[in-house]
Each structure stands twice: as structure tokens, then as C-alpha cells.
Amino acid sequence: MSPHTKKHPHLDRLLKRAKPVTLDHSSKVLVLSDLHMGNGGRLDEFRQNSELVKTMLERYYLPGQYSLVLNGDIEELFKFSLESIARQWSDFYDLFFKFGQNGFFWKTYGNHDAALLDEREYRLASSLVESVKFHYGDETLLLFHGHQAALFLWQTCSMFNRSVIFFLRYFAKPLGIRNFSVAYNSRQRFAIEQSIYEFSNQSKIVSIIGHTHRPLFESLSKADFLNYRIEELCRAYSTADGEKRAAIKLSIVELKSELDGCYKKGKVSGLRSGIYNNLTIPSVFNSGCTIGKRGITALEIEGSTIRLVYWYNGKQNRKFISERSNRPMELDSTGFSRIVLNEDSLDYVFSRLHLLT
């Protein structure tokens, strides 16, 4: 099939209908997804990072003049009633709304919170949309949860939605089944990423998604990025002088052990696709999720820069190694730290997108 054939009519529709927002060189936006807020009990996956999320929103992003996009699966309605979630986390609803004063606050719905559309008394209803598109000069970044790409799965899901929700709420919960918010195996996850990748390249836009819980930066997973970084360092090694060489060698050893870890966890699958001659187009970003055991990932846009960041509790964690050898920064003396995992200029991202597609 020619790369120009429109293969994703539902994603084209989503792009057309998306809520438009214009960014300029002073815009600051935080994108978070997959909070999976519950009722505060043992099976609430948001609970363990709630203090971290609250602190970083209240003390870093809100005073830092950031706008906010919550990119789907914020409430875990498969397991809990909206009333129980709203009762437990009402402080967060107030906090989210405050970001409107910095510019805007939008909330897209995902598969776990699509039922919000039927709720009459949902407090954040005025911010709820299916997708948002950022106009950045002549370029477009489309923000949506990502489950829409699994059209077949999604239709099946909608058909049985009521019984699935019934099962999860009344059986999975008392039985103590945890962690079914990551309902995809790596092959299905890859299929979702792949179709959003194709759609983005055809439309020459950048997509920002959540849903798979796997952070992506410029269409690269952590393992892909480590591979590239190691290649770069090997190249630099050959022309470096003695002292520099020792440092490069040490970095390579550290990055290789990080990469081994990725392979052991079975995280490896890339978006390099045959139709684009195996060059990676930087058209898909994924904010990851906020229910990680050690911390949370998020995307930031600050003027012409896009970043993947990681927030974690510095008191509980091993020393964190960033692939970019950036240093973590502690937020006041809260014990919570932020580290930039990756960053690039949006102008570079779009130049590459246009040159390679």
C-alpha cells in the first residue's frame, strides 16, 4: 500500500474535530496521563504517587505558569464509581481547575474514563474533550489518549462495556485483582503505537498520547534511545582525547547495563518502519503514566522545547541515571525530585518530520 493511502479515517476525524489551541514562544504546558484515580483504598493505583503528583502540581507547575492537559484515563471508572473517586480526590479537582488561570486546562477521555461523557454532575465536564490540537506556527501537535487507534478492540469493548465494567467492579475488586489497567501485551501495545505512527507521518503532525503506559520520545522507547546514544558515543570515542575517552567509556558501560535491563524486562520493540526506510520519524510522544512503582513520567512543552521528565521520591530510590547525564533537581526540600530524561527543540522535531516523510 502506498504511504499516501488514508488508512486511519477515524484518526483523521479525530484530528479534524480536535479542540484548537494556539501555542506561542512563551507557552508552557504540562501533559500528564493515566492517573487511574480510585477510591483511596488498597486497589487504588493512584494512591502511592498522589502526594508526589499533588506536590509537583502545587509547587512547581502551577507557580511556574504551566497550562495543563490531562490526556486520558484520569479516573479509573472500570473499578470505582465516580462518586467514590470524587469524594477521595476532590482536592485534585480544585487543583486541576486552577491551571486554567495559567492559560488553559483540557482533559481528554481515555477508555477507562469515557463513561464521564454520560455523567450529569461531573465537575470537570466543561474541560472534557476527545482531543486537543496545538497550533505551533504552521505545525500541529495532536493530543489524544490513544485507545482510538485500537479500533477493533475499542468497538468490542464498547459493545461489552457494561458487562466489562460490571465484572471489574463487582468481581475483580473483591477478588483483589490488581494492575489490569495495563491490559495490553507488548504486541498489542506495539500495534497501537504503530498505527498512530503511520497516521502521524501521513498527516505530518506530531501525536502526543498516553494509554500504553510506555513513555516515548520522538517515537523512541527507552531501549531505542539507548541504542542510538551508545552508537553516538562509540563514534565520539574514536576522535576523543585520552581523558575524554575514559569518560565516554564509563558512560557506555552504564548505558549498556541500562539497556540490558530493558531487554530483561521485555520492553523492546521499536517504531522503525519499512515504508520510511528504517529511519525513525519523531512523530509520536507518549507521556507514560503516573502509576509507576518508583515515580511518574510527564511531557513538558516550554516555548520551543519539548521534554520528557521523570519525578520521583529521592529518599526511597536508588541513584537515578539519566541517559542524557542530566542531574536531578530536588523541589525545595520536599524529597521529590525532577530529572529531564530527554529534550529537543520542536523546530528540529518538525524539520525532521518533514524531511523524512
- Under the rule (CB under 5 A), what is the footprint of Mn ion? 73, 110-111, 211
In the complex with Mn ion, which residue's Cβ is closer, 289 or 341? 289
Q: How far is the CB of 210 from Mn ion (least distance, A)?
A: 7
CB of 45 to Mn ion, least distance (A): 12
Say how far apart CA 195 and CA 153 lie, in whole Å: 13
Task: For 150-254, list the strands marked E by DSSP.
Answer: 206-209
Q: Name which of 79 and 211 has its Cβ closer to Mn ion.
A: 211
Nearest CA among 216, 323, 229 for reference residue 269: 216
In the complex, minimum distance from the CB of residue 226 to Mn ion, in angstroms, rounded to a whole number: 26
DSSP conformational letter for 168? I
> Nearest distance from residue 109's CB to Mn ion, in Å?
10
Rounded to the nearest whole angstrom, what is the least distance from the CB of residue 35 to Mn ion in the complex? 11
Q: Please identify, using beta-carbon distances, which residue of 111 and 286 lies nearer to Mn ion.
A: 111
Between residues 110 and 295, which has the closer beta carbon with respect to Mn ion? 110
Q: How far is the CB of 235 from Mn ion (least distance, A)?
A: 39
Q: Give least dist CB 188 to Mn ion, A.
A: 12
344 phi and psi angles, rounded to 5 deg: -155, 170
Written as one string, the DSSP assignment of 43-97 is T-TTGGGHHHHHHHIIIIITTTT-EEEEES--B-TTTS-HHHHHHHTHHHHHHHH
Distance CA 166, CA 169 (A): 5
Q: Which is nearer to Mn ion, 211 or 229 (CB)?
A: 211
| Count of helices and strands (H, E) across the chain | 11, 13
Backbone phi and psi for residue 163, each to the nearest 5 degrees, phi listed first: -75, -30
Residue of 191, 159, 203, 173 whose CA lies nearest to 15: 203
Query: 110 or 282, CB closer to Mn ion?
Result: 110
| Shortest distance in whole angstroms from residue 37 CB to Mn ion | 13
- Residue among 88 and 212 whose Cβ is closer to Mn ion: 212
Report the nearest approach of Mn ion to the CB of residue 336 (Å): 25
Q: Closest CB to Mn ion among 74 and 308?
A: 74
Choose between 150 and 226: whose C-beta lies nearer to Mn ion.
150
Cβ contacts of residue 71 below 8 Å, gap of 6+? 31, 32, 33, 34, 108, 110, 143, 144, 145, 208, 209, 210, 287
| Among candidate residues 217, 158, 214, the one with its CA nearest the CA of residue 190 | 214
Q: State the nearest-atom distance from the C-beta of 42 to Mn ion, in Å.
A: 22
CA distance 39 to 89: 8
CB-CB neighbours of 101 under 10 Å: 11
Taking a C-beta distance cutoff of 8 angstroms, is the pair 205, 140 a contact? yes
**8 or 211: CB nearest Mn ion:** 211
Reading the block at residue 260, the C-alpha cell is: 540490558
* Phi and psi torsions of 155, nearest 5°: -65, -45
Return the residue matching grid coordinates 520492553.
267
